[in-house]
Amino acid sequence: MGHLNRTMPGLRTRGALAGVAATLLLLGSADALARLLGASTSPLTAVGLLVIRVLPTELVKLAIALFGEADKIVLILTVGVAGLAIGGLIGGILCTRPRIALLTFTAAEAVLLLLVGLRPEAGTLDFVAALAGSVLGALAFALLLGAVRVPGRTGDGTDSTPSGRGDAPSLGRRGFFLLAGASAVVGAVGIAAGRTVVAVGRGAAEAARRFVLPTPAVRAPAVPEGAEVGVDGVAPFTTAQADLYRIDTALVPPSVDPDAWELRVDGLVEEPFTLTFDELLAMRLEEHRITLTCVSNPVGGDLLGTGTWTGVPVRTLLARAKPLPEADMVLSHSIDGFTASTPLEAMTDERASLVAVGMNGEPLTPEHGYPVRLIVPGLYGFVSATKWVTRIEVTRFDQAEAYWTQRGWDAEAPILVASRIDVPRGLDSVPAGEVVVAGSAWAQQAGVAAVQVRLDDGEWIDADLGTEANADTWRQWRAALPDVEAGRHSVTVRAVDHDGTVQTEERRDPIPNAATGHHRVEFRAE
């Protein structure tokens, strides 16, 4: 008994290692297989999405504020570490009862499979990938448990197992560590591959690459000469799709089969209907240049970008459906369960609200909503820019709440007039004398009429503006500050829209309806 007690710490350590290694193999292989098969949901993703839905609103807000676009990576890492801890606890605590340990491990796998199967975007391939990972994980755990033995002595001097049987272990000490190490490496590589490698074969990325965007009946005017002010360091007027910010609730972009995709238009309408992707493409497509803005953008942030979007006007679809007089809101639904609330008026007036299929003359990428997303000028993305959209439900604000409204954000969110300094960057050193300051300003729907800057606490001076493309795009600006003396200085910017609204200097966090305040940059003149 004394010998057994002395070996228990080492036994439990190896049991915990067995659980950690098997869990890592399970999560990593399922993640990689899901990506390889073009599926969009894996056990890691399913648990992460569940965490997002059950977390208190204040924690969600804190994560967005702290991590920004990196919030998904942080969440996946947190879920992964928690999963490894659970696997380690199962192996460590139940190592002397291998059958119970294996049953507990497989029960946990069954829960993961259930979570994958319950995801609205999950299909057969998602489940197959998760099942294959579960089988590999359980097999590795069983083999590793077989090597976790309590050294004891029987009457004839042979080694015994915890149950007192004298049969030899299936793996020796060296074999145990080799298998555990191999499982851990395969799992870690699988997770890395599953998060970075583009899906192949039957995935949405391959379908998007094959898709040829139809020529729109209405083309956007060319970007006007002078739209860019010619200052190095200012963000380009047109944002490449690969450079457009990505803020959404999907941990992995859903893999949507365009041949199976449908858009349902229903709710408080006289004539509900459903469109296939081909039917949508056969409609009259229009092209419009629009700046998309995220409500989470901090003062001076880069969560916005301008693209030329191709799609069908939403008002065309709603005119066919004929909304009832009492309707005042459109609740758009994503394939992953996300919803956004948009005033019905913004979908039916003359603004360029689109059921979009392309950006900058190219199909949407899976990250940005392939095959179809919504674009609504003048509203922040969380109440308008639903990706992977599958349903346009006409309803009322007093009858339905969208995803972020349920979490403390406003139900309606018109974009506020705002501006940003791109040059100089914070803490830059520049030559004394004339200092060029430049950046962008935006006030979608109203349009930017003026931008003003001031050095330190001096007077506001007017900046030179780039040519306006339209009221729904940002506008570049530049200003030359004369006779800047050597030393530390600050420069502040504000914008004015065509309605006369001056950008407020009141500082406010993004929650619940966009950050406000003047962007201020400190620099040193030498």
Beta-carbon contacts of residue 459 (< 8 Å; ≥ 6 apart): none
**Arithmetic mean of pLDDT, 160-189:** 71
Question: Could you tell me the pLDDT band of residue 172, with boundaries at 50, 70 and 90?
Answer: confident
Amino acid at 307: G
For residue range 185-195, list pLDDT tens digits in order. Answer: 999 998 887 76
For residue range 469-503, list pLDDT tens digits in order. Answer: 999 999 999 999 999 999 999 999 999 999 999 99
* Omega of the bond leading into 151 within 30 degrees of 0 (cis): no
CA atoms of 445 and 498, how far apart (whole Å): 9
Mean pLDDT of the chain: 90
Question: Could you tell me the pLDDT band of residue 161, with boundaries at 50, 70 and 90?
Answer: very low
The pLDDT, as a whole number, for residue 501 is 98
For residue range 184-242, list pLDDT tens digits in order. Answer: 999 999 888 776 654 443 456 677 778 889 999 999 999 999 999 999 999 999 999 99
The pLDDT, as a whole number, for residue 491 is 98
3-class secondary structure, 218: strand
Helix, strand, coil percentages, rounded to 5, for the chain: 35, 25, 40
The pLDDT, as a whole number, for residue 197 is 59
The pLDDT, as a whole number, for residue 162 is 41
Contact assessment for residue 80 and residue 48, using Cβ atoms and an 8 Å cutoff: no
> CA angle, 435 as apex, 430 and 441 as ends, to 5°?
110
Q: In what order do the strands lie in the sheet with 461-462?
A: 429-430, 519-525, 487-497, 448-455, 461-462
For residue range 401-431, list pLDDT tens digits in order. Answer: 999 999 889 999 999 999 999 999 999 999 9
Residue 76 has pLDDT above 50, yes or no: yes
Please tell me what DSSP assigns to residue 158.
-
Question: Domains in the chain and their CATH numbers?
Answer: 2-196 (no CATH), 241-407 (3.90.420.10), 418-525 (2.60.40.650)
How far is C-alpha 338 from the chain's CA centre? 12
C-alpha torsion 405→411→414→416, nearest 10: -50
Beta-carbon contacts of residue 387 (< 8 Å; ≥ 6 apart): 248, 250, 334, 338, 368, 369, 373
Amino acid at 469: A
**Arithmetic mean of pLDDT, 62-73:** 75
User: Which of the residue ranges 8-22, 121-135, 151-165, 282-296 would you say has the lowest mean pLDDT?
Assistant: 151-165
Inter-CA distances, 217 with 256, 283, 351, 364, 419, Å: 26, 9, 17, 18, 34
DSSP string, 92-122: HHSTT-HHHHHHHHHHHHHHHHHHHHHSTT-
Give the Cβ contact number of residue 287 at 10 Å.
22
pTM of the model: 0.80
The pLDDT, as a whole number, for residue 205 is 66
The pLDDT, as a whole number, for residue 266 is 98
The pLDDT, as a whole number, for residue 7 is 55
Give the pairing type, strands 273-276 and 262-267. antiparallel
CA atoms of 364 and 213, how far apart (whole Å): 9
User: Which of the residue ranges 81-95, 279-293, 307-321 would you say has the lowest mean pLDDT?
Assistant: 81-95
Closest CA to 298 of 486, 515, 111, 147: 515
Residue 360 has pLDDT above 60, yes or no: yes
